[in-house]
């Protein structure tokens, strides 16, 4: 009897089909969805100038989640389209974010170099300006000293006073010699003044004033001068007139 019951139970077990319950896939699907959403968000963010570099954060997280979902789907032999899409989009967004980082870093480095070069150029320009100011001061001092020395030398000679003394003593020949020497000196300093010598320019005015005084003094004694002396006086006057014409031109 017992053997018959065991045989009947064995037949029932063999006739009852064994059902395999598949595992739930909710976890992998959720990871795939989150990875896809983060990938899309990162991709949109990556196309925004300057702040696209921050897309590397959601993009990296999207890559991790999508990769985990893709792995689980592969092991369970389930559809991998959602996880694969999230993985690709997240990788693309992360690559764009990395490119942004390289561009911004390079631009910042170049800007720093440009700023340093600009600062060095500014310092060199300031140094050059200071050197030019010092050189200008030295030139001004030199010209001023030269002009003072020339004026002192001129005042020591006092040709107009000598002419006046000679005329008073009746020595018209010496007075004419001094007058001609002054005209020659005026010609010499006029040439230097044309070359930009400030001291010479001051002397041109000084000699011109003294020569005008000499001419006036000769005019007072012209009747006492000989014909030969008057002819020489006229020749010196012509030379003086030529110098004035050259200055006007």
2/17 Cα distance (integer angstroms): 25
- Write down the pTM of the prediction: 0.40
- Residues 194-233 as b or e (16 or more Cβ within 10 Å = b): eeebbbbbbbbeebbebbeebeebbeeeeeebeeebeebb
41-66 pLDDT, tens digit per residue, is 999 998 988 888 899 999 999 999 98
In the chain, what is the greatest distance between 2 CA atoms, to the nearest angstrom? 188
100-123 pLDDT, tens digit per residue, is 999 888 888 777 777 777 787 778
What does pLDDT average to over the chain? 78
164-215 pLDDT, tens digit per residue, is 787 888 888 888 888 888 888 888 888 888 887 887 788 888 888 888 888 8
Copy the structure tokens of residue 105: 């870093």
pLDDT(1) > 60: no
Over range 85-110, report the average pLDDT: 90
């Amino acid at each position: 009897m017992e053997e018959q019951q065991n045989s009947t139970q064995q037949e029932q077990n063999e006739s009852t089909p064994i059902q395999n319950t598949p595992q739930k896939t909710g976890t992998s699907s959720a990871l795939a969805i989150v990875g896809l959403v983060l990938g899309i968000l990162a991709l949109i963010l990556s196309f925004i100038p300057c702040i696209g570099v921050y897309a590397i954060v959601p993009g990296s997280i999207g890559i991790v989640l999508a990769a985990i979902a893709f792995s689980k789907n592969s092991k369970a032999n389930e559809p991998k389209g959602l996880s694969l899409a999230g993985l690709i989009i997240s990788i693309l967004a992360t690559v764009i974010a990395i490119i942004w980082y390289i561009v911004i870093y390079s631009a910042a480095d170049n800007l720093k170099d440009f700023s340093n070069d600009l600062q060095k150029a500014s310092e060199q320009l300031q140094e050059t300006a200071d050197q030019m100011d010092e050189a200008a001061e030295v030139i001004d001092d030199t010209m001023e000293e030269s002009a003072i020395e020339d004026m002192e030398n001129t005042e020591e000679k006092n040709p107009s006073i000598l002419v006046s003394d000679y005329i008073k003593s009746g020595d018209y020949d010496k007075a004419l010699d001094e007058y001609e020497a002054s005209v020659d000196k005026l010609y010499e300093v006029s040439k230097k003044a044309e070359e930009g010598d400030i001291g010479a320019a001051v002397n041109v005015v000084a000699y011109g004033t003294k020569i005008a005084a000499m001419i006036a003094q000769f005019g007072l004694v012209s009747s006492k001068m000989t014909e030969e002396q008057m002819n020489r006086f006229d020749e010196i006057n012509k030379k003086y007139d030529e110098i004035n014409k050259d200055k006007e031109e």
